[in-house]
Every structure is written in C-alpha cells, then in structure tokens.
Structure 1
Amino acid sequence: MSGVSLRPARLSPRDVLRVGAVGLRTRPMRVFLSALGIALGIATMVAVVGISTSSKADLMAKLDHLGTDMLTIEAGAALNGEGGTPKLPKEAVAMVSRIGPVHQVSALALLKDTTVRRSPLVPAERNGGINVMAADTALLSAVSGSMAHGRWFTSATAAYPTVVLGGVAAARLGAQPGELVWIGEDRFTVIGVMEPVALAVDLDTAALVGWQAAERRLEFDGHPTRLYERSSDQAVASVRAVLTRTVNPQAPETVQVSRPSDALTAKAAASGSLTSLMLGLGAVALLVGGVGVANTMVISVLERRQEIGLRRSIGATRGQICIQFLTEALLLSGLGGVVGGLLGVLGTFGFATAQGWQVVVPPWALGGGLGSTVVIGMAAGLYPAVRASQLSPTEALGSG
C-alpha cells in the first residue's frame, strides 16, 4: 500500500460547470440583483453603439441619395458696408453654367420686404416666420426635392400668381393646393406643397413664387441671392475653386461658397462624439456591476465555509476550490452579459424602427460586450476564489 500514489480526482469541464452553478441555483434573488448591474452596463453599451451606427447608416444612405456634389453660392456682405440683402449679379446663373463640369444651376432670391398671409385680414407683420422667395423652374431638381402634394412650377405657371409652399410653411398657413394666400397685396394660388428638403432646410419655411411672376407682381429686381450648382463628385473641388471669381469677377470676396452635405457629415461626427460619452457611462455601469459581482462572491465564500471545508476534507484540492468559485463568478457575469446584450439589441431595434432607420448592430459591439463580461468576471471572482482555496479544512468546518 505504501507504493500506491493517492492523487485527487480531476474535474471534467462538465463537473466544473455543475459545481460552479450550485451557488447560482441556491441564491436566485442575489444572482438576479448581481447580474442586473452587468446587464445594464452591457445593454447600455450595445444600445448606444447600435443606435449610433443605425443613425449613421441612415445618414450615409441619405447622403448617397441626395449626393455630395451640390454647392451653394451666396452673396456675402458688401465691401462698402451698405445695408440691405446682399445680391448676386443677374448673369450669375449663365456665368456658372459655362463652367465645364457644371451640369445644373438654379437660382433663388429672398424677397425681403414681402409677406405671405392666409387672409388679407391678418396683419402683415404676423406672417408666421415664413419667407417669400422667387425660384426658377430648375430649383426642385437642383436641391433633390420632391412634392408632397400638388405640382412644381412649369414654364407656364411660373409666370402667373402661383405659389409652392414648404411643408412647415403650409402647416403654419393652413393652406393646401387649390387654396388662396395673400403675398404682399396680391392673391396667389397654392399649386403644391414640398416635402422636407435635407440640403436646403430653409425651403421648408418658404413660400416660393415663380421668377417671372415675382418680377411682374412683387417688384423683384431679378438679382438672385443664392445659387445651387451641381457637378460630378470628382469635380466639386475644382469647380469650387473658380466659383467666386466666375460669379463676381470684380469682387470675388463678396461671394460665399458652401457645401450643404458637409453639415450632414459634421452631424455624423458629432454623433460619434456623443457615442463615446455614452460608452463611458456604460463602462461605469459595467464597473459598478463588476463590484457587485465581487461583493456577491465574497459573501458567498463567507456563507459557504463549511461546504468548502467538507470538500477539502474529502479530497478537493486548493486549485479545484479556486476553479469552482472562479467559474461561479464567470457564470454570474456571463449571465448578466447575455441578458444585457439581448436588451441592447432589442433597444436598438425598437428605437431605430421608430425612427424609420435601418437596424444595424455591429458584431464587434456584441462580441466586445460579452468579452468584457469575461474580464469583469475574472477580475471580480479572482480574490474570492483565492480566499476560498486558502481555507484549511479544519478552520472551515469549525466556523459553523
């Protein structure tokens, strides 16, 4: 018998999981509360990344649809400091259209002292913040706009007292196609209402009249205040470099050129900054959850000292005790991570669907969330597991 080597039985992976799950099955409420902190942290991080990615995907899809090839040309302040609305030369459209890569140019003019009202009984100063603008027939296509109701100007209707309203302007006036509104002191017939225009948001609160009708009836002098120009994406930079001198060769400093799609791109960048902030908050919640798991495991070791002593007395090694409690911590944090991941996906799906976005949850967000729960579980369970393994059988059994 003296030659027989007594070695402790090795635990299979199945046995390790079964033994590690004992503490979870016997204390369900404590497990729920401990896993809740992990779940909230993971859910926050997954939902934040998913919602941000879905928003960005929708924004990029919108940019692809609208195009990034549009430039706007506006008159800046006059060099001589004169007041009034800055204007561009009457020949600006013709001059810009001569630039080789340019394939579309449209003009818009703000009629500053002209008001629009639903009835002549409404005081002129109460126009609901609606601007009256003269537009040429190419404007709708140039800004990638569309009509919600009615129709856009044709070469015929642009010469008559007709008006197209932006969506917000129509709502404020309470006017629909076929009804009359008063622009200045003249009656105009509403022939259409536009959908919101992403690349020219001020058109949503505008009342647009035809270029010729504005000249004939509203004392419009024919000078545009803004041009919309389109060329190929590859030519945008080169066209932009020559626009100011083309529009006003004598004073190019008074011409301002901008790219509306840059605002949407900046919005995507700002969304990324907000995502980083929210991820930080999710990480804090995850850390708090990890502290909760560690606290639960420490208490579990204290409450189960007799169980540890009994297992040690019948042959369990320090390593097996350590693995048991480390596995329990990993299962606890992993449970919270899985539930949190599912909540994050559901939250993303619900919010993105409500906004009409495409639902996008990056795989790395789920993988990173679940991976972080493993790290949290290891960190939270390591000290309690080592402490449990260092208890001697006599000390543990005598603690009861």
Structure 2
Amino acid sequence: MESPQLVGAAPVQLPRPVRLAPLDLLRIGLVGIRTRRLRAALSALGISIGIATMIVVTGIPAASERALLAELSALGVNLLQATAQPDEDGVTRLPVEAPAMVARIGPVTATSAVANTNTVIRRSDWIDPRDGSGLTVLASEPALPATLDARLRTGRYLDAGTERLPTVVLGAVAATRLGVVDLGPVDSPTQVLVGDVWFTVIGILEPLPLAPEIDRSALVGWPAAESELGFGGHPTVIYLRVHEPSVEAVRAVLPATIDPQRPSKVQVTRPSDALAAKRATESSFASLFLALAGVALLVGGIGVANTMVISVLERRSEIGLRRALGASRGQIRAQFLTESVALSLLGGLAGTALGLLASAGYAIVNGWPVVVPPGATLAGLGAALLVGVVAGSYPALQAAGLPPTRALAAA
C-alpha cells in the first residue's frame, strides 16, 4: 500500500551556506593557533629555521663577497701592468706615446708610467759609484700614487712644481737601505747622489704590496730625469686601472695599443685569479647551505602537516557541529588551509627576521658591509607560503570530507 502524500506540500529547501568574508575566514583559521600556542610555536619553528638558514647562507656570502671585492680592488684586481721586453738589441723600452695611447682606451680609469734611467743612487760620494744597493732610479709621472693607491710615510710626492727640479721620492725599502729616516730640517734637507747630481729627498713612501718594485726604487720627475740624468723619455712600465668588468678585454688589446709594430715585446700581467677562486668556493658553500636550508624547510613542512592532521583529529566535533549548522565543505577546507598557511607565514616572518639579524651581526663582527639580499628575503616568504599550502592541503581535504554525523558521533 502506497503511503499517503500531503497535498500542496512545498519541497524542502536547505539553507544556503553563508559566504565567509576574508576577515571572518582568517579569524576562524587562527582559532587553532590561538588555542594551541605551544604546538603552533613548535611547528612554526621548523619553518623559521629553514627560512633563517636560507637568508643566512645568502646574506653572509653576499657580505663576504662585497668585502672581498673591495679588498681585491684595493689590492689590484683591476690593476694591469705593461712591461717592456728586451728587443733584438737588448734595449728595454716602450714607445714615448704609449702612455697617451693607453689613456685613450675607454674602460681605463687611471694610468701612469715609470722608466728605468739606468742610474745609480748613493747616500754620499764616498760610496763606490758602482754600488747602488740594489736600488733602481725611475723617472715617474705625478699620477703614479693615485694609480697605485700609494701612501706617503712623510713629505710629498712629485708634482708640477717639483718634477723639473732635482728632487726624489724614495720607496720604503730604498729609504731603509740608504739610511734615510726623515727629510731633514728645512735649511739642511736630506740629499742623495743620483748619478753625479745631488737630489733632495722630498718624500718617503709607505710599502706598496701592489708594486714591490716601487719599494726598491728612487723616483724622480720625468723632466728632471731628462735634463739631469740624460733620460731619453721612453717608459719601461705602464700601470693602469681598468673598469673591473673590462679587465680581460683591455688586457687583450693592450700590447697592440702600446706598441703596434712589436706587440710581442709588451708583457701584460694577468689580473688576480683570487677573485675567481673565491667566487667558486663561495658558490660551492652556498649550494651546500641552500641544500641544508631545503632540508630544514622540508622538515618544517612535515611538522606543519603533522600538526594540521592532529588538529583535524582533535577537532572533529567542531567540524561536525559547523557542518550541522550549515558550513560547506569548501568553508571547512578553507579554514584548515588558512590555518596551515598562517602557521607557515608566522614561521617565515620569524625566520626572516632571525636570518637578517644573524647575517647583519656576523657581517658587523667581521667588519664586512651589511648586505640584505632582497631576493632571498622574498624567496623565503614565498617558500613559507608554498610550504603552508602543500602541508595544509591534505589535512584540509580530510577535514572537509568528514560527514557531520560521523564527526559528531566520534566526539
């Protein structure tokens, strides 16, 4: 017998779930973090360690590299030295116009030349004229200290007012071998014998690690060398500073620029290989540490996923009650996914702050410039967001799939 049907009864309409605003969704998603603070903090700790490691292993090498670049620049990574080689007659010299030609090369930022005058320097005329104490007398241009970043221990260097006079500047080793410790009083200045001419010492240089040959030299003005020592005006060594990215290119064209007729007679020093070696070493260590950071992020992500799975199991009654009150599966899924992402972002922000502080502190302790890698910072926050989404997806789907009756019965 068929059951009677109610005449005129309207079909039952289930209420539509209310659409949650983003702020409401965020507030609901943060419930688990607020109520289980210790567990949330321990879960976020794994993320923060991974992000901090990522920033530290990029920030510290960046600061180290910048400090290294500054140090190598000071020690001549962009300094080239072109030296004349003996020709068939045994003469060692470069063309007179060579310094001017080198200065016209675009990436060259500074240039200066010296020339061996083949003259002996002595402390007095009582010393054997053949005993030059292993020192060299060089004709020098006034721009030499700026090119080599030379510093004066005392006195001054040759300039437009002194380069035509019988004046001399001694290198650090030359001053020691000649027994010159100061410039002497104004009315009786210290003098040395260059060839057969007395020259007044007007300056003493500090040691030059860039050009140790200058330490063992006595430097006289170019015009004074021509007028007093019979110097012919041909340079033997040209020093030049180059815009760093163009060092190799300038080095390649330098011999032909200096002596187009005999480029093989020009020897150019190689730029420092220390920079390439250091960069390769730093790249290897950076790759290793980034791998460690990836492992830390993976461990942190597993911790977040574990926390979210346990949270779903513990909160089945809440899930069942919300579903019974009309919450949709999508809202449940969004709630737990929001909680996972928020947990990861909190860990990411804490890790970013910790990584930046650690990088800055390490750089300051070592006297390096503080470098904040913006790429690593943004990548760290992005990685935290990605970990939150991946780690929270399965627990969110698991929570959304719980039937209301089973969830309430399990409670």
CA distance in 1 between counterparts of 2:242 and 2:379 reads: 43
* Match of residue 181, structure 2, among 175, 189, 193: 189
The sequence identity of aligned pairs, in percent, is: 40
Corresponding residue to 2:304 among 284, 293, 297 = 293
Q: What SS is found at the alignment partner of 2:80?
A: strand
1:376 Cα deviation from its structure 2 partner: 0.9
8 Å CA contact retained: 1:149, 1:193:
yes
| Cα deviation code 1:249-307 (max 9, x no counterpart) | 66x55753246478657756765665455434323322221122112212222232333
Matched, 1:243 2:255: yes
Q: State the 1:387 CA deviation.
A: 1.1
Q: What's 1:96 paired with? A: 98
Q: Which runs of 5+ in 1 are unaligned?
A: 80-87, 110-130, 166-179, 213-222
Asked if residue 22 in structure 1 is aligned to residue 31 in structure 2, the reply is: yes
Instruction: Give CA deviations for 1:343-375 in whole Å, capped at 9, x if unaligned.
Output: 233234334444555544344433332222111
Alignment of 1:1-400 (within 5 A): 2-54=11-63, 70-74=79-83, 90-92=92-94, 94=96, 96-97=98-99, 99=101, 101=103, 104-107=111-114, 137-138=140-141, 140-141=144-145, 143-147=147-151, 149-151=153-155, 153-154=157-158, 159=168, 162-164=170-172, 183=177, 187-189=179-181, 194=206, 201-203=209-211, 207-211=215-219, 227-229=238-240, 237=249, 240-241=252-253, 243=255, 246=258, 253=264, 255-258=266-269, 260=271, 264=275, 271=282, 274-354=285-365, 358-400=369-411
1: CA distance, partners of 2:289 / 2:137: 45
Note if contact 2:247-2:271 (Cα within 8 Å) is conserved in structure 1: no
Residues 43 and 300 in structure 2, CA contact (< 8 A), matched pair in contact too? yes
> Per the alignment, do residues 25 and 241 of structure 1 end up closer, same or farther by CA in structure 2, a change over 3 Å counting?
same
- Give the partner amino acid of 2:15: L
**Aligned in 2, Cα 1:231/1:313: closer, same or farther, shift over 3 Å?**
closer
Pick closer, same or farther for the CA change 1:204–1:15 going to 2, 3 Å. farther
Distance in 1 separating the partners of 2:166 and 2:381: 62
- Alpha-carbon shift at residue 326 of structure 1 (Å): 0.8
Q: What letter matches 2:172 in structure 1?
A: V
What do the CA deviations read for 1:48-73 (whole angstroms, capped 9, x no partner)? 44444555566777899999975322
1:148-176 Cα offsets, whole Å, 9 max, x none, are 7435654689758x4427xxxxxxxxxxx
Contact 1:101/1:231 (8 A) holds in 2: no
Name the CA distance, whole Å, in 1 between partners of 2:136 and 2:408. Answer: 89
How many residues matched? 341
Q: Read off the aligned partner of 1:105 and give its amino acid letter.
A: S
Give the RMSD, CA atoms, in angstroms: 4.9
Aligned-partner Cα distance in 2 for 1:391–1:231: 70
CA distance in 2, matches of 1:104, 1:306: 81
Superposition deviation, residue 396 in structure 1: 2.8
Counterpart contact for 1:164–1:208, Cα < 8 Å: yes
Against the structure 1 CA distance between its residues 224 and 33, is the aligned structure 2 distance closer, same or farther, given a 3 Å change threshold? farther
In structure 2, list runs of 5 or more residues that go unmatched.
1-9, 105-109, 117-133, 183-202, 221-233
Aligned residue number for residue 215 of structure 1: none
CA deviation profile, 1:71-95 (whole Å, cap 9, x unmatched): 322579x99xxxxxxxx95423746
Give the TM-score normalised by the residue count of structure 2. Answer: 0.63
Paired with 1:308 and 1:354, the residues of 2 have a C-alpha distance of 52
Alpha-carbon spacing, 1:397–1:100, altered in 2? closer, same or farther (3 Å): closer
Q: Which moved more, 1:309-318 or 1:147-156?
A: 147-156
Q: What letter corresponds to residue 218 of structure 2 in structure 1?
A: G
Q: TM-score, normalised by structure 1?
A: 0.65
Residues 344 and 93 of structure 1: CA distance in aligned 2, closer, same or farther (over 3 Å)? farther
1:32 is matched by which residue type in structure 2? A
Deviation at 1:192, TM superposition (A): 5.1
- Farther off after superposition, 228-237 or 374-383: 228-237
Alpha-carbon separation, structure 1, partners of 2:292 and 2:214: 42
Compared with structure 1, are the counterparts of its residues 376 and 238 closer, same or farther at alpha carbon in structure 2 (3 Å cutoff)? closer
